[in-house]
Protein backbone atom coordinates (compact mmCIF):
# COMPACT_ATOMS: atom_id res chain seq x y z
CA UNK A 1 0.00 0.00 0.00
CA UNK A 2 3.00 2.24 0.00
CA UNK A 3 2.89 2.06 -3.74
CA UNK A 4 -0.11 3.94 -4.97
CA UNK A 5 -1.30 4.77 -8.40
CA UNK A 6 -2.76 8.16 -8.73
CA UNK A 7 -5.78 8.07 -10.92
CA UNK A 8 -8.31 10.49 -12.20
CA UNK A 9 -11.90 9.43 -12.56
CA UNK A 10 -13.90 9.75 -15.68
CA UNK A 11 -15.60 13.05 -15.50
CA UNK A 12 -18.97 11.44 -15.73
CA UNK A 13 -21.44 12.59 -13.24
CA UNK A 14 -19.27 14.24 -10.70
CA UNK A 15 -17.26 17.35 -10.98
CA UNK A 16 -13.97 16.68 -9.37
CA UNK A 17 -11.59 19.41 -8.73
CA UNK A 18 -8.28 18.04 -9.78
CA UNK A 19 -5.32 19.25 -7.97
CA UNK A 20 -1.70 18.67 -7.38
CA UNK A 21 -0.62 15.22 -6.72
CA UNK A 22 0.58 14.60 -3.28
CA UNK A 23 1.81 11.31 -2.02
CA UNK A 24 -0.08 10.52 1.13
CA UNK A 25 1.95 9.23 4.00
CA UNK A 26 0.18 6.73 6.10
CA UNK A 27 0.87 6.62 9.76
CA UNK A 28 1.67 3.12 10.71
CA UNK A 29 1.58 3.64 14.43
CA UNK A 30 -1.64 1.73 14.68
CA UNK A 31 -2.36 -1.61 13.17
CA UNK A 32 -5.31 -1.97 10.89
CA UNK A 33 -8.50 -2.93 12.54
CA UNK A 34 -8.20 -0.67 15.56
CA UNK A 35 -11.22 -0.20 17.65
CA UNK A 36 -14.09 1.66 16.14
CA UNK A 37 -14.68 5.21 17.24
CA UNK A 38 -18.36 4.93 16.63
CA UNK A 39 -20.24 5.01 19.86
CA UNK A 40 -20.95 1.47 20.66
CA UNK A 41 -24.62 1.56 21.18
CA UNK A 42 -25.77 -0.24 24.25
CA UNK A 43 -27.85 -3.29 23.81
CA UNK A 44 -31.56 -2.79 23.97
CA UNK A 45 -33.34 -2.97 27.27
CA UNK A 46 -33.72 -6.62 27.92
CA UNK A 47 -34.24 -7.86 31.41
CA UNK A 48 -31.06 -9.33 32.78
CA UNK A 49 -31.13 -13.05 33.19
CA UNK A 50 -28.74 -15.07 35.26
CA UNK A 51 -27.21 -17.14 32.52
CA UNK A 52 -23.68 -16.94 31.23
CA UNK A 53 -24.93 -16.87 27.66
CA UNK A 54 -24.82 -13.63 25.75
CA UNK A 55 -28.33 -12.39 25.41
CA UNK A 56 -29.48 -11.15 22.09
CA UNK A 57 -32.01 -8.40 22.25
CA UNK A 58 -35.32 -8.75 20.53
CA UNK A 59 -35.05 -7.90 16.88
CA UNK A 60 -38.02 -6.56 15.00
CA UNK A 61 -37.70 -8.24 11.65
CA UNK A 62 -40.39 -6.07 10.11
CA UNK A 63 -38.47 -2.83 10.66
CA UNK A 64 -37.42 -0.97 7.54
CA UNK A 65 -34.59 1.39 6.84
CA UNK A 66 -34.05 3.91 4.08
CA UNK A 67 -30.55 5.14 3.41
CA UNK A 68 -29.84 8.55 1.97
CA UNK A 69 -26.74 9.52 0.08
CA UNK A 70 -25.70 13.17 -0.19
CA UNK A 71 -22.76 14.84 -1.87
CA UNK A 72 -22.08 18.58 -1.73
CA UNK A 73 -23.99 21.24 0.15
CA UNK A 74 -23.80 24.60 -1.60
CA UNK A 75 -25.85 27.80 -1.56
CA UNK A 76 -25.76 28.18 -5.31
CA UNK A 77 -26.46 25.01 -7.22
CA UNK A 78 -24.24 24.66 -10.25
CA UNK A 79 -24.18 20.88 -10.51
CA UNK A 80 -27.69 19.77 -9.62
CA UNK A 81 -26.69 16.13 -10.02
CA UNK A 82 -24.49 16.19 -6.95
CA UNK A 83 -25.48 19.25 -4.98
CA UNK A 84 -28.17 20.39 -2.59
CA UNK A 85 -28.63 23.67 -0.76
CA UNK A 86 -28.10 23.68 3.01
CA UNK A 87 -31.68 24.89 3.45
CA UNK A 88 -33.12 22.01 1.44
CA UNK A 89 -30.89 19.57 3.29
CA UNK A 90 -31.96 20.86 6.68
CA UNK A 91 -35.62 20.76 5.67
CA UNK A 92 -35.16 17.07 4.85
CA UNK A 93 -33.50 16.34 8.18
CA UNK A 94 -36.38 18.09 9.90
CA UNK A 95 -38.88 16.12 7.84
CA UNK A 96 -37.40 12.87 9.11
CA UNK A 97 -38.00 14.01 12.67
CA UNK A 98 -41.48 15.32 11.89
CA UNK A 99 -42.51 12.07 10.22
CA UNK A 100 -41.32 9.92 13.08
CA UNK A 101 -38.45 8.36 11.17
CA UNK A 102 -35.53 7.59 13.46
CA UNK A 103 -32.07 8.37 12.15
CA UNK A 104 -29.84 5.53 13.30
CA UNK A 105 -26.10 4.92 12.97
CA UNK A 106 -24.99 2.67 10.13
CA UNK A 107 -23.49 0.30 12.70
CA UNK A 108 -26.92 -0.11 14.29
CA UNK A 109 -28.35 -1.08 10.93
CA UNK A 110 -25.66 -3.75 10.60
CA UNK A 111 -26.14 -4.95 14.18
CA UNK A 112 -29.85 -5.29 13.46
CA UNK A 113 -29.11 -7.28 10.31
CA UNK A 114 -26.91 -9.55 12.43
CA UNK A 115 -29.82 -10.02 14.83
CA UNK A 116 -27.91 -8.33 17.62
CA UNK A 117 -29.76 -5.11 18.12
CA UNK A 118 -33.27 -3.88 17.73
CA UNK A 119 -34.06 -0.75 15.77
CA UNK A 120 -37.25 1.30 15.61
CA UNK A 121 -39.79 0.26 12.96
CA UNK A 122 -39.04 3.11 10.57
CA UNK A 123 -35.47 4.27 10.33
CA UNK A 124 -33.14 6.23 8.12
CA UNK A 125 -29.38 6.20 7.77
CA UNK A 126 -27.72 9.33 6.41
CA UNK A 127 -24.53 9.01 4.39
CA UNK A 128 -22.29 11.49 2.61
CA UNK A 129 -20.13 10.45 -0.29
CA UNK A 130 -16.76 11.49 -1.62
CA UNK A 131 -15.50 13.72 1.22
CA UNK A 132 -16.32 17.34 0.44
CA UNK A 133 -15.41 20.05 2.88
CA UNK A 134 -19.00 21.30 2.84
CA UNK A 135 -19.92 18.02 4.48
CA UNK A 136 -17.74 19.05 7.40
CA UNK A 137 -18.52 22.74 7.40
CA UNK A 138 -22.22 22.70 6.52
CA UNK A 139 -23.75 19.27 6.97
CA UNK A 140 -21.95 18.32 10.18
CA UNK A 141 -23.36 21.26 12.23
CA UNK A 142 -26.88 20.56 10.93
CA UNK A 143 -26.57 16.90 11.86
CA UNK A 144 -25.27 17.89 15.30
CA UNK A 145 -28.23 20.20 15.76
CA UNK A 146 -30.61 17.32 15.18
CA UNK A 147 -28.49 14.86 17.11
CA UNK A 148 -28.26 12.61 14.06
CA UNK A 149 -25.48 10.10 13.49
CA UNK A 150 -24.15 9.69 9.97
CA UNK A 151 -21.61 7.93 7.80
CA UNK A 152 -18.93 9.38 5.54
CA UNK A 153 -17.91 7.37 2.48
CA UNK A 154 -14.42 8.53 1.57
CA UNK A 155 -12.28 7.79 -1.46
CA UNK A 156 -8.81 8.19 -0.14
CA UNK A 157 -7.16 10.00 -3.05
CA UNK A 158 -9.97 12.52 -2.90
CA UNK A 159 -9.03 13.72 0.57
CA UNK A 160 -7.20 17.06 0.51
CA UNK A 161 -3.62 16.45 -0.44
CA UNK A 162 -4.46 13.27 -2.34
CA UNK A 163 -4.07 13.04 -6.10
CA UNK A 164 -7.72 14.02 -6.52
CA UNK A 165 -8.19 16.12 -3.42
CA UNK A 166 -8.72 19.69 -4.53
CA UNK A 167 -9.60 22.80 -2.61
CA UNK A 168 -13.15 21.65 -1.96
CA UNK A 169 -12.03 18.35 -0.51
CA UNK A 170 -12.30 17.42 3.12
CA UNK A 171 -9.04 17.19 5.07
CA UNK A 172 -7.72 14.35 7.21
CA UNK A 173 -7.93 16.67 10.21
CA UNK A 174 -11.62 17.29 9.56
CA UNK A 175 -12.19 13.57 9.23
CA UNK A 176 -10.36 13.00 12.51
CA UNK A 177 -12.58 15.58 14.18
CA UNK A 178 -15.67 13.85 12.84
CA UNK A 179 -14.29 10.53 14.08
CA UNK A 180 -13.79 12.04 17.53
CA UNK A 181 -17.43 13.09 17.46
CA UNK A 182 -18.58 9.54 16.81
CA UNK A 183 -19.09 9.87 13.08
CA UNK A 184 -18.75 6.65 11.14
CA UNK A 185 -16.10 6.83 8.40
CA UNK A 186 -16.14 4.18 5.70
CA UNK A 187 -14.53 3.38 2.38
CA UNK A 188 -15.45 4.49 -1.13
CA UNK A 189 -12.36 3.21 -3.02
CA UNK A 190 -9.07 4.98 -3.62
CA UNK A 191 -9.73 6.87 -6.85
CA UNK A 192 -13.47 6.65 -7.45
CA UNK A 193 -13.70 4.79 -10.73
CA UNK A 194 -15.75 2.01 -12.22
CA UNK A 195 -14.22 -1.05 -10.58
CA UNK A 196 -15.35 -3.59 -13.14
CA UNK A 197 -12.63 -5.15 -15.23
CA UNK A 198 -12.44 -3.98 -18.80
CA UNK A 199 -13.54 -0.41 -18.16
CA UNK A 200 -11.42 2.58 -18.99
CA UNK A 201 -9.32 3.68 -16.08
CA UNK A 202 -7.46 6.91 -15.64
CA UNK A 203 -4.04 6.55 -14.09
CA UNK A 204 -2.13 9.54 -12.86
CA UNK A 205 1.55 9.14 -12.30
CA UNK A 206 3.80 12.08 -11.57
CA UNK A 207 1.02 14.40 -12.61
CA UNK A 208 0.52 12.66 -15.95
CA UNK A 209 -2.86 11.20 -16.71
CA UNK A 210 -3.12 8.05 -18.70
CA UNK A 211 -6.36 6.54 -19.86
CA UNK A 212 -6.02 2.83 -20.06
CA UNK A 213 -7.67 -0.53 -19.71
CA UNK A 214 -6.29 -2.90 -17.15
CA UNK A 215 -6.71 -6.62 -17.39
CA UNK A 216 -5.56 -9.71 -15.60
CA UNK A 217 -2.91 -9.32 -12.89
CA UNK A 218 -2.56 -5.57 -13.52
CA UNK A 219 -6.26 -5.10 -12.97
CA UNK A 220 -6.19 -7.24 -9.85
CA UNK A 221 -3.30 -5.24 -8.45
CA UNK A 222 -5.14 -2.01 -9.15
CA UNK A 223 -8.26 -3.42 -7.50
CA UNK A 224 -6.31 -4.37 -4.40
CA UNK A 225 -5.42 -0.75 -3.90
CA UNK A 226 -8.94 0.46 -4.65
CA UNK A 227 -10.75 -1.95 -2.37
CA UNK A 228 -8.21 -3.15 0.18
CA UNK A 229 -5.69 -0.31 0.16
CA UNK A 230 -8.31 2.37 0.65
CA UNK A 231 -9.70 0.49 3.65
CA UNK A 232 -6.26 0.07 5.18
CA UNK A 233 -5.36 3.68 4.65
CA UNK A 234 -8.53 4.91 6.37
CA UNK A 235 -8.01 2.47 9.21
CA UNK A 236 -4.39 3.41 9.72
CA UNK A 237 -4.71 7.11 9.20
CA UNK A 238 -7.72 7.43 11.49
CA UNK A 239 -7.26 4.46 13.81
CA UNK A 240 -10.69 3.10 12.98
CA UNK A 241 -12.31 -0.09 11.82
CA UNK A 242 -13.82 0.11 8.35
CA UNK A 243 -16.51 -2.44 7.50
CA UNK A 244 -18.58 -0.71 4.81
CA UNK A 245 -17.80 -0.11 1.16
CA UNK A 246 -19.73 2.24 -1.08
CA UNK A 247 -19.10 1.22 -4.67
CA UNK A 248 -18.20 4.18 -6.91
CA UNK A 249 -21.16 4.99 -9.19
CA UNK A 250 -22.85 1.93 -7.73
CA UNK A 251 -21.21 -0.14 -10.48
CA UNK A 252 -20.16 -3.58 -9.42
CA UNK A 253 -20.18 -7.19 -10.44
CA UNK A 254 -19.65 -10.50 -8.67
CA UNK A 255 -15.87 -10.18 -8.80
CA UNK A 256 -15.93 -6.73 -7.23
CA UNK A 257 -18.16 -8.08 -4.49
CA UNK A 258 -15.88 -11.02 -3.94
CA UNK A 259 -12.82 -8.85 -3.47
CA UNK A 260 -14.73 -6.59 -1.10
CA UNK A 261 -15.90 -9.55 0.91
CA UNK A 262 -12.39 -10.91 1.04
CA UNK A 263 -11.14 -7.53 2.24
CA UNK A 264 -13.37 -7.85 5.28
CA UNK A 265 -16.19 -5.53 4.33
CA UNK A 266 -19.41 -6.51 5.99
CA UNK A 267 -21.66 -4.46 3.73
CA UNK A 268 -21.55 -2.96 0.24
CA UNK A 269 -23.60 0.01 -0.89
CA UNK A 270 -24.99 1.15 -4.20
CA UNK A 271 -27.10 4.11 -5.23
CA UNK A 272 -30.25 2.28 -6.20
CA UNK A 273 -32.53 3.38 -3.42
CA UNK A 274 -34.91 0.94 -1.82
CA UNK A 275 -36.19 0.24 1.67
CA UNK A 276 -33.81 -2.10 3.46
CA UNK A 277 -35.48 -4.99 5.20
CA UNK A 278 -34.16 -7.63 7.56
CA UNK A 279 -33.55 -9.97 4.65
CA UNK A 280 -32.02 -7.51 2.17
CA UNK A 281 -28.64 -8.84 1.03
CA UNK A 282 -25.73 -7.02 2.62
CA UNK A 283 -23.62 -6.96 -0.54
CA UNK A 284 -25.82 -4.57 -2.50
CA UNK A 285 -27.56 -2.20 -0.14
CA UNK A 286 -29.41 0.48 -2.07
CA UNK A 287 -29.26 4.13 -1.11
CA UNK A 288 -31.36 7.06 -2.27
CA UNK A 289 -29.09 9.68 -3.80
CA UNK A 290 -30.65 13.01 -2.92
CA UNK A 291 -29.79 15.80 -5.30
CA UNK A 292 -31.16 19.20 -6.17
CA UNK A 293 -32.46 18.09 -9.54
CA UNK A 294 -34.53 15.26 -8.12
CA UNK A 295 -36.57 16.70 -5.29
CA UNK A 296 -39.09 13.91 -5.53
CA UNK A 297 -36.62 11.18 -4.58
CA UNK A 298 -36.62 12.18 -0.94
CA UNK A 299 -40.41 12.29 -0.71
CA UNK A 300 -40.74 9.00 -2.53
CA UNK A 301 -38.26 7.37 -0.17
CA UNK A 302 -40.25 8.48 2.86
CA UNK A 303 -43.43 7.21 1.30
CA UNK A 304 -41.81 3.86 0.67
CA UNK A 305 -41.44 3.11 4.35
CA UNK A 306 -44.35 5.27 5.43
CA UNK A 307 -46.92 3.24 3.61
CA UNK A 308 -45.05 0.11 2.77
CA UNK A 309 -47.17 -2.90 3.27
CA UNK A 310 -44.24 -5.15 2.52
CA UNK A 311 -43.36 -5.51 6.15
CA UNK A 312 -46.65 -4.56 7.71
CA UNK A 313 -48.38 -7.73 6.70
CA UNK A 314 -45.61 -9.89 8.04
CA UNK A 315 -45.38 -11.08 11.59
CA UNK A 316 -42.13 -10.39 13.36
CA UNK A 317 -41.00 -13.46 15.18
CA UNK A 318 -39.19 -12.60 18.37
CA UNK A 319 -37.14 -14.99 20.42
CA UNK A 320 -38.79 -16.23 23.57
CA UNK A 321 -35.50 -15.94 25.44
CA UNK A 322 -35.59 -12.24 24.88
CA UNK A 323 -38.91 -12.04 26.64
CA UNK A 324 -37.59 -13.60 29.85
CA UNK A 325 -40.44 -16.03 29.72
CA UNK A 326 -41.66 -18.04 32.63
CA UNK A 327 -41.51 -20.95 32.33
CA UNK A 328 -38.48 -20.63 30.08
CA UNK A 329 -38.32 -22.21 26.66
CA UNK A 330 -37.32 -25.82 27.12
CA UNK A 331 -37.78 -25.80 30.88
CA UNK A 332 -39.70 -28.58 32.57
CA UNK A 333 -41.99 -27.53 35.37
CA UNK A 334 -43.36 -29.61 38.17
CA UNK A 335 -46.84 -28.22 38.20
CA UNK A 336 -49.69 -28.61 35.81
CA UNK A 337 -50.92 -25.20 36.86
CA UNK A 338 -48.01 -22.92 36.07
CA UNK A 339 -47.90 -19.17 36.04
CA UNK A 340 -47.04 -18.15 32.48
CA UNK A 341 -45.29 -14.83 32.01
CA UNK A 342 -43.42 -12.86 29.38
CA UNK A 343 -41.83 -9.45 29.41
CA UNK A 344 -42.54 -7.45 26.28
CA UNK A 345 -40.51 -4.34 27.07
CA UNK A 346 -37.85 -5.20 24.51
CA UNK A 347 -40.37 -5.46 21.69
CA UNK A 348 -41.08 -1.75 21.49
CA UNK A 349 -44.19 0.32 22.01
CA UNK A 350 -46.97 -2.16 22.63
CA UNK A 351 -50.61 -1.38 21.94
CA UNK A 352 -52.09 -2.55 25.26
CA UNK A 353 -55.33 -3.90 23.83
CA UNK A 354 -53.46 -5.97 21.29
CA UNK A 355 -51.67 -8.37 23.61
CA UNK A 356 -52.87 -11.92 23.28
CA UNK A 357 -51.73 -15.20 24.78
CA UNK A 358 -52.51 -18.63 23.43
CA UNK A 359 -51.75 -21.79 25.34
CA UNK A 360 -51.78 -25.15 23.66
CA UNK A 361 -54.65 -27.17 24.96
CA UNK A 362 -56.43 -24.04 26.19
CA UNK A 363 -56.55 -21.66 23.26
CA UNK A 364 -56.67 -17.93 23.90
CA UNK A 365 -56.46 -17.33 27.62
CA UNK A 366 -57.54 -14.23 29.57
CA UNK A 367 -54.01 -13.04 30.22
CA UNK A 368 -53.24 -9.81 32.02
CA UNK A 369 -51.04 -7.21 30.43
CA UNK A 370 -49.47 -4.60 32.66
CA UNK A 371 -48.34 -1.67 30.49
CA UNK A 372 -46.22 -0.33 33.36
CA UNK A 373 -43.99 -3.36 33.57
CA UNK A 374 -44.60 -4.58 30.04
CA UNK A 375 -45.45 -7.98 31.47
CA UNK A 376 -48.13 -10.29 30.19
CA UNK A 377 -49.08 -13.06 32.57
CA UNK A 378 -51.60 -15.81 33.02
CA UNK A 379 -52.09 -18.15 35.91
CA UNK A 380 -53.22 -21.45 34.47
CA UNK A 381 -56.36 -22.55 36.28
CA UNK A 382 -57.13 -25.68 34.36
CA UNK A 383 -54.57 -28.49 34.57
CA UNK A 384 -52.35 -28.84 31.55
CA UNK A 385 -52.73 -32.39 30.37
CA UNK A 386 -49.98 -32.78 27.82
CA UNK A 387 -46.29 -33.40 28.48
CA UNK A 388 -45.41 -30.17 26.76
CA UNK A 389 -47.13 -26.87 26.38
CA UNK A 390 -46.63 -24.24 23.72
CA UNK A 391 -47.36 -20.60 24.41
CA UNK A 392 -47.85 -18.00 21.71
CA UNK A 393 -47.81 -14.38 22.75
CA UNK A 394 -48.66 -11.81 20.12
CA UNK A 395 -49.05 -8.07 20.21
CA UNK A 396 -49.13 -5.07 17.97
CA UNK A 397 -46.20 -2.75 18.13
CA UNK A 398 -46.49 0.43 16.14
CA UNK A 399 -48.85 -1.09 13.66
CA UNK A 400 -46.95 -4.33 13.23
CA UNK A 401 -47.72 -7.70 14.66
CA UNK A 402 -45.00 -9.31 16.72
CA UNK A 403 -45.17 -12.83 17.96
CA UNK A 404 -43.18 -15.15 20.22
CA UNK A 405 -43.56 -18.91 20.61
CA UNK A 406 -42.05 -21.09 23.26
CA UNK A 407 -42.54 -24.52 24.66
CA UNK A 408 -42.03 -25.87 28.13
CA UNK A 409 -42.43 -29.34 29.53
CA UNK A 410 -44.60 -30.53 32.36
CA UNK A 411 -43.12 -33.24 34.48
CA UNK A 412 -45.03 -36.40 34.23
CA UNK A 413 -47.38 -36.70 37.14
CA UNK A 414 -47.17 -33.01 37.97
CA UNK A 415 -49.86 -31.97 40.30
CA UNK A 416 -52.02 -28.98 40.22
CA UNK A 417 -50.35 -27.60 43.30
CA UNK A 418 -48.64 -24.32 43.83
CA UNK A 419 -47.10 -22.62 40.86
CA UNK A 420 -43.75 -22.51 42.58
CA UNK A 421 -41.49 -25.30 41.42
CA UNK A 422 -41.62 -27.92 44.05
CA UNK A 423 -40.30 -31.42 43.99
CA UNK A 424 -43.06 -33.87 43.57
CA UNK A 425 -42.80 -36.31 46.44
CA UNK A 426 -44.50 -39.29 44.94
CA UNK A 427 -44.83 -39.28 41.24
CA UNK A 428 -47.86 -41.15 40.15
CA UNK A 429 -47.58 -43.84 37.60
ZN1 LIG B 1 -18.93 8.84 -4.95
pLDDT tens digits for 372-406? 899 999 999 988 888 888 888 888 887 777 878 78
Distance 129 CA to ligand 1 centre (A): 5
Cβ(223)–Cβ(270) below 8 Å = no
The model's pLDDT over 162-203, given as tens digits with 9 standing for 90+, comes to 999 889 999 999 999 999 999 999 999 999 999 999 889 998
Given its phi and psi angles, is residue 73 left (phi above 0), alpha (psi -120 to 50 degrees) or beta?
Answer: beta
Distance 130 CA to ligand 1 centre (A): 5
Stretch 40-51: mean pLDDT, rounded?
45
Strand-pair partners of 370: 375
Identify the pLDDT of residue 427: 44
Distance 247 CA to ligand 1 centre (A): 8
Stretch 242-254: mean pLDDT, rounded?
94
Distance 36 CA to ligand 1 centre (A): 23
Distance 190 CA to ligand 1 centre (A): 11
Identify the pLDDT of residue 53: 53
- Cα(151)–Cα(148) distance, integer angstroms: 10
DSSP 402-413: EEEEEEEEEEEE
Residue predicted with more confidence, 54 or 102: 102
The model's pLDDT over 312-332, given as tens digits with 9 standing for 90+, comes to 345 667 777 788 899 998 899
- Cα(167)–Cα(134) distance, integer angstroms: 11
Identify the pLDDT of residue 171: 97
Distance 31 CA to ligand 1 centre (A): 27
Q: How confident is the model at residue 100 (pLDDT cuts 50, 70, 90)?
A: very high
Distance 369 CA to ligand 1 centre (A): 50
- Cα(188)–Cα(65) distance, integer angstroms: 21
Distance 88 CA to ligand 1 centre (A): 20
Distance 24 CA to ligand 1 centre (A): 20
Stretch 253-258: mean pLDDT, rounded?
94
DSSP 293-322: T-HHHHHHHHHHHHS--TTTSSEEE--GGG
Distance 133 CA to ligand 1 centre (A): 14
Residue predicted with more confidence, 265 or 409: 265
- Cα(15)–Cα(9) distance, integer angstroms: 10
Identify the pLDDT of residue 417: 56
pLDDT at 138 over 50: yes
Q: How confident is the model at residue 56 (pLDDT cuts 50, 70, 90)?
A: low
Distance 192 CA to ligand 1 centre (A): 6
Stretch 69-88: mean pLDDT, rounded?
93
Identify the pLDDT of residue 18: 35
Share of the chain above pLDDT 70, in %: 80
Q: In 60-86, which positions are buried (b, 16+ CB within 10 angstroms) versus exposed (e)?
A: bbbbbbbbbbbbbbbeebeeeebbbeb
pLDDT at 429 over 80: no
pLDDT at 46 over 50: no
Task: Measure Cα distances from 188 to 50, 164, 381, 427 in Å.
Answer: 43, 13, 62, 68
Identify the pLDDT of residue 103: 98
Q: What is the mean pLDDT of the chain?
A: 82
Name the least confident of 274-283, 296-305, 357-366, 411-420.
Answer: 411-420
Identify the pLDDT of residue 359: 82
Share of the chain above pLDDT 90, in %: 56
Identify the pLDDT of residue 304: 86
Identify the pLDDT of residue 55: 54
Identify the pLDDT of residue 350: 86
Residue predicted with more confidence, 35 or 328: 328
> Is residue 276 classed exposed, middle or buried when 0-12, 13-18 and 19+ CB atoms within 10 A define those classes?
buried
Identify the pLDDT of residue 323: 87
pLDDT at 35 over 50: no
Name the least confident of 1-10, 112-121, 329-338.
Answer: 1-10
Identify the pLDDT of residue 38: 41
Amino acid sequence: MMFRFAIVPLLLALNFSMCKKHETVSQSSQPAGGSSPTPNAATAGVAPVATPKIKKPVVDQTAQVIIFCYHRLVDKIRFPGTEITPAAFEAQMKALKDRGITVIPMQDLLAWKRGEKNIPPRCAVVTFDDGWKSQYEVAFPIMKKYGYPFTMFIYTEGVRGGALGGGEAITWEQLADMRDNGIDIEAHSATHQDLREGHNIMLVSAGKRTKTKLNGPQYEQWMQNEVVGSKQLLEQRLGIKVNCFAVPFGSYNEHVKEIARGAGYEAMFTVYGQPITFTSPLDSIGRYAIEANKPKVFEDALKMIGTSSGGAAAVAEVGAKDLSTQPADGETVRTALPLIKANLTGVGQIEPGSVQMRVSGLGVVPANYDPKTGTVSYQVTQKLREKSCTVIVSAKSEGKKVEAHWTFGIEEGATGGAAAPKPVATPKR
